[in-house]
Amino acid sequence: MRESLAYVETIKSLSPIPKADKIECAQILGWECVVKREEFAVGDKAIYVEIDSILPDLPPFEFLRSKKFRIRTIKLRSQVSQGIVFPLSIINEIDPTFDISKLKVGDDVTQLLGITKYDPESALDIVIDPEPQVKKSWAARKFQFIKWKLFGYKPIKSHGDFPDCCPKTDETRVQHMQGSLERNEGMPAYITEKCDGTSSTFIYRKNGNWLSRLFGRGYTFQVCSRNRILFSTDKNHNKPDHPIMKMADKYDILKGMKRLNRNLAIQGETIGNKIQGNLYKINGHDLKVFLIYDIDAKRYLPLDEMQQIIDELNLSMVPFIGFDVVKPDIKYWVELSKGTSKLLPSVLREGIVMRGTKDDFSFKSINPEYLLKQELNKDKE
């Protein structure tokens, strides 16, 4: 499914920028964006395009060519701008036949504008070509039936896209959460540092009956990146030379999960060499766990239970910042995201993640100072 990166929203407010006559600050959702003065009025419908969106190489977006058509966090005068705002008429510059009068607030126009996501993390994925769909022979189907009847063994997807037994690791940015913040105001929560690495998931599922375990296989173990299965015990292939696979071996995660014997998904961030510039100057790689998902209960484990399992498996958690309660103030969470990393105090932290102590409610707040520093470094490269 294509990720939503551009949608119709209303201009909530407009405010002047000191010492700037031609631009002003527009608030749209929880974002602040620099726009041309008097281009919009409060209450206008407009198209908001998120940061890390890549616009198509088309004439209306020619002004973005020097930025490789990517929307970035920038700072103009004293104002941080995250995202870009277009009038609805931009759509007719691409498709003159489209009736923009039918657009409603909340409509997703990502596909209509031909926008894709900038995702450097996906470059770490080892591309595994999907196997051709070959009809199984009678003997193969019979053998599968025998395995099911005799061992209770169920076939599980062994390659390709991320499994559907647990959610992907992608929190919603706080700027999209105003309504949810208001509905959950006062909820007890804990805050952790968001680490800059590559998303890693390790899935263990019991598979089969006592007879299958007697013969040495009563489980399926999968190692996944954010979007793909990298390794599965249900498929006979060599272990990939991938940082996430190295974490599975380094901490012997399969052995630990077999000992727990629960249907769980451990999710964390792999950090280190050749990952996002190795922000934390780590020699080699390391894993920082931030979630454990109970596949049977279809929920994330609460903090205390998660910490207990992390300790039992000799893993480590992402840096813990503290406890708080949900506040319906987006600026509060943006300010809280600022600061230095607990992993390396000489660098800015990427941001924070807030999670309910007893509920699955969560969001992330990315440090705008970190984003500006990252963009500055990329421009120097």
Whether residue 188 is found in the same domain as residue 70: no
Cα–Cα distance, 231 to 211 (Å, whole number): 25
Same-domain check for residues 114 and 142? no
Based on the domain organization, do 58 and 164 belong to the same domain?
A: no
- Whether the per-residue pLDDT at 130 is higher than 50: the answer is no
CATH number at residue 99: 2.40.50
Total tally of structural domains belonging to the chain: 2
Q: Which pLDDT value is given to residue 360?
A: 84
| 8 A C-beta contact, residue 319 and residue 342 | yes
Closest residue by Cα to residue 353 from 371, 369, 336:
336
Mean pLDDT computed over 132-158:
55
Identify the pLDDT of residue 233.
84
More confident residue, 212 or 199: 199
Structure-token pair, residue 237? 């292939």
Mean pLDDT in residue range 162-183: 91
Residue 12 lies in a domain: yes
Among 83-97, 228-242, 252-266, name the one with the lowest average pLDDT. Answer: 228-242
Indicate if the pLDDT at residue 164 is higher than 90: no
Task: Examine residue 131 and state whether it is found in any structural domain, yes or no.
Answer: no
- 257 with 363, same domain? yes
Indicate whether 124 belongs to any domain: no
pLDDT (mean) for 51-80: 94
Is residue 294 a part of any domain in this protein?
yes
How does the average pLDDT of the chain come out, rounded? Answer: 88
* C-alpha to C-alpha distance for 168 and 121, rounded to whole angstroms: 14
CATH of the domain at 269: 3.30.470.30
Does 365 share its domain with 275? yes
pLDDT at 127: 47
Give pLDDT tens digits for 87-99.
Answer: 999 999 999 999 9
Q: Is residue 279 in some structural domain?
A: yes
Instruction: Find the domain containing 205 and state its range.
Output: 138-380
Asked if 172 contacts 143 with a C-beta cutoff of 8 angstroms, the reply is: no
Q: Please tell me the least confidently modeled range out of 94-108, 123-137, 193-207, 321-335.
A: 123-137
Given a cut of 80, whether residue 280 has pLDDT beyond it is yes
Average pLDDT over residues 31-43: 95
Same domain? 171 vs 311:
yes
Predicted model pTM: 0.84
- Under DSSP, the state recorded for 112 is H
Q: Are residues 307 and 160 located together in one domain of the fold? A: yes
The pLDDT of residue 43: 96
- Are residues 309 and 170 located together in one domain of the fold? yes
Same domain, 328 and 228: yes
**Is 130 within a domain?**
no
Predicted local distance difference test score (pLDDT) of residue 110: 95
pLDDT at 144 > cutoff 90: no
Is 133 inside any structural domain?
no
Residue that terminates a domain, selected from 84, 118, 152: 118
Does residue 338 form part of some domain? yes
